[in-house]
Amino acid sequence: MAGLALRTPNQTHRVLSSDDMEALAIGAWILGTGGGGDPYHKLLNMRRLYEQGHSVTLIDPMSLASDACVAVVSNMGAPIVGQERLSDPEFSTRPVKIMERYLGRKFDAVMALEIGGGNGLQPMLISALTGIPVVDADTMGRAYPEAQMTSVAVAELKCYPFAMSDIRDNEIIIPRAESWHWMERISRKACTEIGSVAATCKAPRTGEEVKKHGILYTTSKAIRLGETVLQARRDHADPIEAVLDAAHGKQLFRGKIVDVERRATEGFLRGKAIIEGLGEDTGSTMEVHFQNEFAVGYKNGVPVVMTPDLICLLDSVSGEGVGTDIIRFGQRVTVLALPAPEVFLSPKGLEAVGPKAFGFDIEFKSVFDGATS
Amino acid sequence: MKRIGIDVGGTNTDAVLIDGDAVVASTKTFTTVDVTSGVKTALAEIVKQAGSGINGVNAVMIGTTHYTNAVVERRNLGRAAAIRVSLPASASLVPFCDWPAELAEKVNGGAYLVHGGHEYDGRALVPMNEQEVAQAARAIRKDGVDSIAVSATFSPLTTECEDRAADIIKNEHPDAHVTLSSSLGRIGLLERENVALMNASLIELASEITEAFAEAVQASGLDATLYITQNDGTVARAEMAREFPVFSFASGPTNSMRGAALLTGIEHAMVCDVGGTTADVGCLINGFPREANNVVEVGGVRTLFRMPDLLSIAIGGGTIISSDASVVGPKSVGFRLGEEALVFGGSTLTATDIAVAAGLLDVGDKSRIKDLRKQVIDQALATIHERLSEAVDRMKTDASEVPLLAVGGGAMLIPDSMPGISDVVNVEHQAVANAVGAAIAQISGETDRIYRDMDRNDVIALAKQAAIDNAVKSGAAIETIQVIEVEDFPLSYLPGNAIRARVRVVGEAVSV
């Protein structure tokens, strides 16, 4: 895993700077593959919190005690709602407090459910407010729309208890669920009911579970990816090239958005974007389907890229990620693929997050021919 | 079709009379502090040049950079208060939270968060607290702030909360001008609120400027309707435009690019418009400016609405140059070029003086710059060329060579060749391309309504037809109409599979 190279030997704790937050926001948005929500509002909150003197400590997951109690946090819902209901650290922290009350103990650390999109910054908000350190890991290595689409679900770890809070005075605890699928169904219904956005605290994990089944060093990976883009911009270099280099990606298509179809259904944003080729892709069309995140890309009607490979749409000029909720007619975008975390390439992984899990009747074929990150 | 197009820039006021595709008369004068007299002078000159050709002119189309400059230069901005209907959500990121501090300090006339707003499906988030709205309005009145921007969660889906809030404000603070965020922007509360706040801070200026333009047109004796150009290459009637000054942001460069396309007959090219204060670089695609992806910053504030993709750098005819040419800009003498440049009798060395000294331009009194050393002239020109070339290169998105259309009063500062550019195209009337673009601005048609029990494709087809009908009614020629924006939202809270569709089209004015 590329993130390992970033670790300084013997350094298990690192106080993140506000510059790290700027880079993290860019990197997380790219790894969000269109979903997870634009990190901008969370970044604004982080700037404010740093100005007020708060800070965040990032810890090496391998330094966790085996019995450490780790909160796994995320906002769930449709990203479009997040553009209208702005992120608020108090609101993000509420389900962690609910869970601590339910468990009758305090958390030792907090980690992201998904590094991709705004959720990559969710533990930062909570950490800045509460002082609980953030673990350099997540359970997706990207963003995915559903609860069972995680490394911990693929490992069949316990899916409960679960806490969720609403912006109004509604608290929801799901003490037990038969499976990750049931947890997803029940929590999704509750989430939709309270406006398709909710702050959540997933099933707590032990230090041992994080070390064994977490996707490690994804926070520092996202920070590094963001730094790469910022550096390319400063050098007037092509930021897309820089991303491809830094994340071992593949460019698939370059063009202009000519149609976007969106449906907000069952708490998700589903739909597709149609891209007309420009430059060497002139004459070709790419259709990218999404369920919050980009799931499958068809070039001239043929599926050429699919989950769990990361499908990223980046602004062709700035290299900034383009979210499924903000794609617009006329935008110029480059489609690229980044390698999937290894755990998702196993038969069990593909069952959870392969194209069939998103309703596409196609066999998974990686653009990287089975290579992993 | 005969029209007069006028572009009021920071330095120059340009005017042209267009008959069909031909420029019949043109003039370039300095912008004046009071705006009106510059426009009057330009109009009088056009009337004089045209002689009997002036008959049949029924539209005067004015583009202005006043509003952009006001925000960028932090001048003439009014105080504006924000009432945001969003609580209990969105409490930590308050209105003005991502504005540059010095700008917020100037504009911020109070930010009030009240309970209410909508869900993504149009339901109420919580019932709107009308008492809180009334209290906010009273506090704003007490502070002597007369312009208010109202934003509500998901107001682009349903304007119910914003409309009701506006009624309450009118009742409590009758003198207040209210800008509703739903009338300006798209989904994205913070950016939409930012646009509404900027609009609110420009309302007083817009009212003054529009009146000044109307007065100038009247004084010219022309029986013509006044239109103000928008940043998408279309025009709005003056009475509409004064309500929405933000839609004029970047209309100057848009006009220049559209004018350049008409004058050169080239529809795919880079365009470099060198004015008095800045040079704007953009990219023409099918005769229209390439639109900016996503969020566009105006004066350091994030906005999300329709804007051309531009790179502005501080190079223009009025750019101030140090005596040894080691410093070029970013300061400019602006509209005082006519007094401060050496060739015009002033005491400041400007890019215009350099151009005259280099034999690129013939204006003013050349004897006043005869002592300029060749080394200074060469170095200043080299710096200017280098900065313009770099700006053009940054805006190019593909490697193949394309032509560069040189326009604006400072076009002579553009070098004859640049890397990545096949040909630098200079044409007659290039100095007044912006006024030409204003004169050929198009008519738009828009529709925004809810359709039920229909397939999405049918909805969009119907909405397109409705927008086209509206454009034709406003005077657009049907065969020239192009769809420029299609947006649809599903409204799942309404029975019967409801879809809200918004379509905008533009077309050329029908020739009379």
**List of E strands, chain A:** 13-16, 56-59, 69-77, 109-112, 134-135, 137-138, 162-165, 171-174, 197-201, 205-206, 215-216, 250-265, 268-277, 285-291, 293-299, 302-306, 310-315, 332-338
Residues of A in contact with B126 (CB under 8 A): 168
Strands A293-299 and B311-313 come out as unpaired
Q: Mean pLDDT over residues A277-289, rounded? A: 92
Q: How far is B196 from chain A (nearest CA, A)?
A: 15
Distances in whole angstroms, Cα of residue B362 to Cα of each of B218, B341, B349, B462: 34, 14, 16, 56
Sign of CA dihedral A49, B192, B156, B458: negative
| Chain B: residue whose CA lies nearest to A334 | B397
Nearest to A44 among B93, B394, B492 (CB): B93
DSSP class of residue B291? Answer: B
Residues of A in contact with B97 (CB under 8 A): 44, 48
Nearest to B119 among A44, A195, A261 (CB): A195
**Which pLDDT does position B491 carry in this prediction?**
66
| Chain B: residue whose CA lies nearest to A41 | B93
Q: Which amino acid is at A218?
A: T
Q: How far is A79 from chain B (nearest CA, A)?
A: 11
Residues of B in contact with A328 (CB under 8 A): 293-294
The predicted-structure confidence for B257-303, as pLDDT tens digits, reads as follows 999 999 999 999 999 999 888 899 999 988 888 877 567 888 889 98
Distances in whole angstroms, Cα of residue B307 to Cα of each of A74, A329, B254, B313: 34, 13, 9, 17
The predicted-structure confidence for A38-76, as pLDDT tens digits, reads as follows 899 999 999 999 999 999 999 999 999 999 999 999 998
- Return the exposure string of B183-199: e unless at least 16 CB atoms fall within 10 Å of the residue's CB, then b: bbbbbbbbbbbbbbbbb
pLDDT band at B495 (very low <50, low <70, confident <90, very high): low
Q: How far is B91 from chain A (nearest CA, A)?
A: 7
Q: Answer yes or no: do B153 and A85 touch at CB < 8 A.
A: yes
pLDDT band at A1 (very low <50, low <70, confident <90, very high): very low
Q: Answer yes or no: do B93 and A195 touch at CB < 8 A.
A: no
| Chain B: residue whose CA lies nearest to A257 | B293
- A297 in Cβ contact with A269 (< 8 Å): no
| Chain B: residue whose CA lies nearest to A88 | B92
Q: How far is A212 from chain B (nearest CA, A)?
A: 37
Residues of A in contact with B162 (CB under 8 A): none
| Chain A: residue whose CA lies nearest to B125 | A195
**Which pLDDT does position B455 carry in this prediction?**
87
- A158 in Cβ contact with A176 (< 8 Å): no
Q: Which amino acid is at A259?
A: D
Q: How far is A107 from chain B (nearest CA, A)?
A: 24
| Chain A: residue whose CA lies nearest to B497 | A263
pLDDT at B350 over 80: yes
Residues of B in contact with A43 (CB under 8 A): none
pLDDT band at A164 (very low <50, low <70, confident <90, very high): very high
* Tokens (6 digits) for B87: 């609580």
* Tokens (6 digits) for B469: 């009908």
- B42 in Cβ contact with B62 (< 8 Å): no
Residues of A in contact with B187 (CB under 8 A): 80, 83-84, 325
Q: Which of A291, A299, A301 is nearest to A255 (CA)?
A: A299
Q: Answer yes or no: do A195 and B294 touch at CB < 8 A.
A: no
pLDDT at A6 over 50: no
Nearest to B293 among A83, A168, A332 (CB): A332
Q: How far is A141 from chain B (nearest CA, A)?
A: 26
Residues of A in contact with B460 (CB under 8 A): none
Query: What ipTM was estimated for this complex?
Result: 0.83
- Return the exposure string of A18-41: e unless at least 16 CB atoms fall within 10 Å of the residue's CB, then b: eebbbbbbbbbbbbbbbbbbbbbb
Q: Which of A299-313, B194-208, B393-407 has the lowest mean pLDDT?
A: B393-407
Q: What angle do CA B467, B468, B474 make, to 5 degrees?
A: 90
The predicted-structure confidence for A337-346, as pLDDT tens digits, reads as follows 999 999 999 9
Q: How far is B27 from chain A (nearest CA, A)?
A: 36
Q: Answer yes or no: do A83 and B93 touch at CB < 8 A.
A: no
Q: What is the spatial distance between Cα A112 and Cα A95, in angstroms, rounded to a whole number?
A: 14
Q: Which of B129-143, B293-307, B378-392 has the lowest mean pLDDT?
A: B293-307
Q: Which amino acid is at B497?
A: N
Chain A residues whose C-beta sits inside 8 Å of any chain B C-beta: 41, 44-45, 48, 78, 80-81, 83-91, 167-168, 195-196, 236, 259, 261-265, 278-279, 315-318, 320, 322, 325-326, 328-332
DSSP class of residue B124? Answer: B
Interface residue of A46, A75, A86, A193 to substitute, partner B, most B CBs within 10 Å: A86
Topology of domain B80-203 in CATH is: Rossmann fold (3.40.50)
Across the beta sheet with B177-180, what order do the strands follow? B108-115, B80-87, B147-152, B177-180
- Give the mean pLDDT of chain A: 90
Contact pairs from chain A to chain B, CB under 8 Å: 97
Q: Mean pLDDT over residues A343-371, rounded? A: 90
pLDDT band at A261 (very low <50, low <70, confident <90, very high): confident
* Tokens (6 digits) for B263: 């004058």
Q: Answer yes or no: do A87 and B93 touch at CB < 8 A.
A: yes
| Chain A: residue whose CA lies nearest to B285 | A330
Q: Which of A168-182, B205-219, B230-244 has the lowest mean pLDDT?
A: B230-244
Give the CA-trace dihedral at A348, A352, A358, A360, to 10 degrees.
Answer: 0
Nearest to A86 among B189, B487, B488 (CB): B189
**Which pLDDT does position B472 carry in this prediction?**
85
Q: Which of A171-175, A203-207, B256-260 has the lowest mean pLDDT?
A: B256-260
Q: The CATH number of B2-71+207-266 is which of 3.40.1000.10, 3.30.420.40, 3.90.1300.10, 3.90.1310.10? A: 3.30.420.40
Residues of A in contact with B291 (CB under 8 A): 330
Q: Answer yes or no: do A87 and B492 touch at CB < 8 A.
A: no
Q: Mean pLDDT over residues A178-198, rounded? A: 90
Q: How far is B411 from chain A (nearest CA, A)?
A: 26
**Which pLDDT does position A10 carry in this prediction?**
55
Q: Answer yes or no: do A332 and B397 touch at CB < 8 A.
A: yes
The predicted-structure confidence for B177-188, as pLDDT tens digits, reads as follows 999 998 887 778
**Which pLDDT does position A250 carry in this prediction?**
95
pLDDT band at A16 (very low <50, low <70, confident <90, very high): very high
**Which pLDDT does position A373 carry in this prediction?**
41
Q: Answer yes or no: do B89 and A44 touch at CB < 8 A.
A: no
Q: Which of A160-174, A202-216, B66-80, B203-217 has the lowest mean pLDDT?
A: B66-80
Residues of A in contact with B293 (CB under 8 A): 315, 317-318, 322, 328, 330-332
Q: What is the spatial distance between Cα B81 and Cα B95, in angstroms, rounded to a whole number?
A: 9
Residues of A in contact with B92 (CB under 8 A): 45, 48, 86-90
**Which pLDDT does position B512 carry in this prediction?**
46
Give the start-to-end residue ranges of the domains of chain B.
Answer: 2-71+207-266, 80-203, 441-507
Percent over 90 (pLDDT), chain B? 57
**Which pLDDT does position B398 carry in this prediction?**
63
| Chain A: residue whose CA lies nearest to B397 | A317
Give the CA-trace dihedral at A65, A66, A67, A71, to 10 degrees.
Answer: 80
Same fold, B2-71+207-266 and B80-203: no
Nearest to A316 among B90, B397, B489 (CB): B397
Q: Which of A108-112, B147-151, B507-511 has the lowest mean pLDDT?
A: B507-511
Q: Answer yes or no: do B97 and A326 touch at CB < 8 A.
A: no
Nearest to A86 among B90, B397, B487 (CB): B90
Q: Mean pLDDT over residues A233-250, rounded? A: 89
- Give the mean pLDDT of chain B: 89
